[in-house]
Chains A and B, each alone.
Chain A
């Protein structure tokens, strides 16, 4: 049997990025994936005969440039340019939609001219402030006790960037940092469609409404992402999100990474405080001196390591990570493309958002606090087969929608709740795209509970742990252990549950690998 320097648990995109980065640095790496395919929540799968869709994550807006560069993803077939940037369409029942073009609304159409100039100012400000946070949101969080020179320097650079803001801007940056997004939008905008879209984007994937304190951070997190150098730009990868993983996988395999699917890890073997290997659920044992867990942090410690190998205080912290998802996924096989009222052909190829106002988003959020789903859910819709006909039989169409709010712990249980929620979602769609209901050949609704079982994401959570102020940066996944290493020597975390968080970015995987390389170097 070959021996490996590093075993990566979990072949999600972060696990693969970590594997490829380590392999490129000369390590012999094995990836163990529980599922039949790699990619985790970033996969393209057939969900109805002849229909394929990005099963969960569908929009790419934060793949980190260092990941693209380190893994040479462009050589492996992943390339995006300005022409691929998708518009965001804020749908409206009573009137024409409002459209953000280019990279997060470089141009705004469908709004009054005063709103356009207000947006220009706000957009510039949001990008400026997100730009300040960006280094924090990507680099390994500062290890305040033992900061290296390099870390000190880069922290200094951020301080410098802050200084360059100018006094007034700096004060305002600090003033708004922990605000709720709705209040900030009310300060600067008037168009409820635009505000609804931004409120939706700020809260997508989290258990927050636009009026929840700190909800603005979600928008900064989004805008800290970039595509082809443009902050906030979004694309639909040809072939679905699985294409991104295919490129990452190709890069990993080229670097010599070995990948085993259908290999669920049941246990991380710890000897005298050091990770020594893993055991699969069939009992097979493999040894390596570096174990990288690119799966959920709570699963890693409570199930695979087990509480008896770690300290009580740490168990406490891990148990307290909040990770009950509120986001569901709908994949529809349609016999023809739907027609959203008032939307032109280009708009149909964009991201269609049903979030008519911040109030709507807030009202959709409210029931989730009490274990109920939104009767009028908000959602983002894409029709990927319009630009990529390979995803559907000819003439037919795929609709991929991310839905909020659908609380993981639904009071009535998802067995009973799921058909009712699907009905609410379809009713909502019908009112924006009349006739769509009749064109449905197959509907696949994945509730957070489904996502949990199918993709091994506890709570079905977007980020493998709420991405809120108390679970970010130096507190992610838990305070004191934000630097990818863990209380178990030789065991590292590399998934979305680690800093900076979720989304298809590869950042946790890349940072973790860099940390491992730096430690041994």
Chain B
């Protein structure tokens, strides 16, 4: 495993030599890093079905995609989120910095709370979306799909703040599903029942080589279900895993891979960077760039809060009606997933593409997320079709299926937000 600690790239390093910046991005040096949970995951990996998540070796599935999905919806699923990029942003002006970088108003995010947000480049194109954890008045954790250290350091110029990559130093787990609360309670996390959706708190954890330490638990997740996310320093990872597995044994706890999670998130209507939209730094073609309003994140934009990156461009795009795309939820007739299908108007005119699709066992509907060129999906929502190529014994069966624009999320589970959380 790669070293978990390294020289701290602080904001002052904005003007520091390039070599310091390169050293601060050591993830390039090892191909497919293991996460702090790797020994446990390797032991459970019967399918040996791996993929590359931000440079880490992560499982698509561990034993059975279908059953892993149902672990999320009817038991408790444990998913390793350590590869998620994590930054510690701390200092008297951390709030001001994040308010300038991200779209939402960070002054409204109280300590002990989490919000989902996104950030843009100067042109108003989305660089990434992610979750912002306010650990204290002056300390934040920003989690995202892509790496952003150079961007954050350059953004920190002129702010009294430290920006540090902590992806390797901090291990993360998502515990999701109806019995997740009971698992945590039985594991001895006293008071965890007080966490409302998007709350976070620190809990003691005794199990690492250094003895007593803290685990940060938030009532968040990527499944639309009752669930939690847990963060500990990397050296505590295995003892935390064992603690949860032990207490969850009778509650059906299962480790899962990404395929199952991906289904749950689609049902929850959540989007994934570089799956449902191309992030600005990845896009090569000019028409692949997306503004928040073009991927359903317009609600985050707070024009009253003061300046933030991309504000000017976003305002101009809105005023001059330069928004060209829209991201929508679709319900498609039949039951064949329309994965990456082309969307047509009147069966003839190509207007967009499905980026994620599935038959939803929970919604009992054939659902999809698609990006359409306006006005389709925006003001023109009638007469939309998707063309599905279903491979049937070495022959494509081309199906033209009616698609209806519907609201996201596709499922709404009361247990996600119920207080106190239900004991299953």
The one of B100, B155, B158, B307 that contacts A270, using a Cβ cutoff of 8 Å: B307
Contact with A along B144-157 (1 / 0, CB 8 A): 00000001001101
Residues from chain B with a CB closer than 8 A to the CB of A270 are 307
Instruction: State which of B64-72, B196-204, B220-228, B310-318 sits at the interface with chain A.
Output: B310-318
Which partner residue on chain B sits nearest A311 by CB separation? B122
Residue of A nearest to B101 (CB): A312
CB of B162 to closest CB in A, whole Å: 16
Contact with B along A378-395 (1 / 0, CB 8 A): 000000000000000000
Quick one: closest B residue to A314, CB to CB?
A: B122
Binds B, one of A186-194, A301-309, A466-474: A301-309
> Contacts A273-B311, A314-B122, A487-B312 hold; do A308 and B154 have CB atoms under 8 A apart?
no
| A-B contacts, CB under 8 A, total | 46
What is the CA–CA distance of A309 and B122 in the complex, to the nearest angstrom? Answer: 12
A311–B312 contact, CB under 8 A? Answer: yes
B101-A273 in contact (CB<8A): no
A319 in complex: contacting residue of B101, B151, B157, B310, CB < 8 Å: B157
Determine the distance from Cα of A147 to Cα of B155 in the docked complex, in whole angstroms.
32
Instruction: Tell me, in angstroms, the Cα distance from A224 to B262 when the chains sit together.
Output: 63
In the complex formed, the residue of B with least CB distance to A487 is B312
Interface flag for A75 (CB, 8 Å)? no
Whether B157 lies near A311 (C-beta < 8 A) is no
Q: Chain B residues near A314: list those with CB within 8 A.
A: 122
B159 contacts partner chain A, Cβ-Cβ < 8 Å = yes
Quick check: A316 and B154 within 8 Å, CB to CB? yes
A315 with B154: CB separation less than 8 A: yes
Interchain CB contact under 8 A, B151 and A312: yes
Known: A273-B312, A487-B312. A310 touches B154 (CB 8 A): no
Distance in angstroms between the alpha carbons of A308 and B156 in the assembled complex? 9
For residue B124, give the distance in angstroms from its CB to the closest CB of chain A. Answer: 9
| Chain B proximity of A328: nearest CB distance (Å) | 26
B309 near A308 with CB under 8 A, answer: no
Does chain B have a CB within 8 A of A313? yes
CA distance A309 to B99 in the complex (A): 11
* Size category of the binding interface on chain B: 10 to 19
Residue in A302, A308, A316 whose beta carbon sits within 8 Å of that of B307 in the complex = A308
Give complex CA distance A308, B96 in Å. Answer: 8
Do residues B311 and A312 form an inter-chain contact, with CB atoms below 8 A?
no
Contacts of A315 in B (CB 8 A): 154-155, 157-158
Establish whether residues B315 and A312, one from each chain, have CB atoms under 8 Å apart when the complex forms. Answer: no
Q: Which of A273, A302, A316, A487 contacts B158 (CB 8 A)?
A: A302
Q: Mark A397-428, 1 if CB is under 8 A from B, else 0.
A: 00000000000000000000000000000000
A308 touches B122 (CB 8 A): no
Query: For residue B331, which residues in chain A have a CB less than 8 angstroms away from its CB?
Result: none
Q: Which residues of chain B (302-357) have a CB below 8 Å from chain A?
A: 307, 309-312, 315
Question: What residue in chain B is nearest A310 (Cβ atoms)?
Answer: B307
Known pairs A273-B315, A487-B312; A312 contacts B307 (CB<8 A): no
Q: How far is the CB of B305 from chain A (nearest CB, A)?
A: 10
Interface residues of A in 35-77 (CB under 8 A from B): none
Q: Look across to chain A and name the residue whose beta carbon is closest to the beta carbon of B311.
A: A273
| Chain B hits for A312, CB < 8 A | 100-101, 121-122, 151, 154-155, 309
User: How far is A453 from B100 in the complex, measured between Cα atoms in Å?
Assistant: 32
- Chain B residues near A308 (CB-CB < 8 A): 96, 100, 158-159, 307
B100 partner residues in chain A, CB cutoff 8 A: 308, 312
Could you mark each residue 90-112 of chain B with 1 if its beta carbon is under 8 Å from any beta carbon of chain A, else 0? 00000010001100000000000
| Minimum distance in angstroms from B291 CB to a CB of chain A | 14
Q: In the complex, are the beta carbons of B158 and A306 less than 8 A apart? A: yes
Nearest to B124 among chain A residues (CB) is A311
Cα(A316)–Cα(B96), bound, Å: 18
Contacting B at CB under 8 A, from A263-313, are 270, 273, 302, 306-313
Please state if B159 and A311 are interface contacts (CB–CB under 8 Å): no
The answer for the CA separation of A167 and B307 in the assembled complex, in Å, is: 52
CB distance from A321 to the nearest CB of B (A): 14
User: What chain A residues lie within 8 Å of B154 (beta carbons)?
Assistant: 312, 315-316, 319
Which residue on A lies nearest to B15, using beta carbons? A319
Q: How far is the CB of A133 from chain B (nearest CB, A)?
A: 30
Nearest CB in chain B to that of A306: its residue: B158
Complex CA distance for A307 and B101, rounded to whole angstroms: 11
Would you call A311 and B121 a contact (CB within 8 A)? yes
Nearest first, the 10 closest Cβ-Cβ pairs linking A and B are A307-B158, A313-B122, A311-B122, A312-B155, A311-B309, A309-B307, A316-B154, A308-B100, A307-B157, A312-B309
A-B contact pairs, 24 of them (CB 8 A): A270-B307, A273-B307, A273-B311, A302-B157, A307-B158, A307-B159, A308-B96, A308-B158, A308-B159, A310-B307, A311-B309, A311-B311, A311-B312, A312-B100, A312-B121, A312-B122, A312-B154, A312-B309, A313-B121, A313-B123, A314-B122, A316-B154, A319-B157, A487-B122
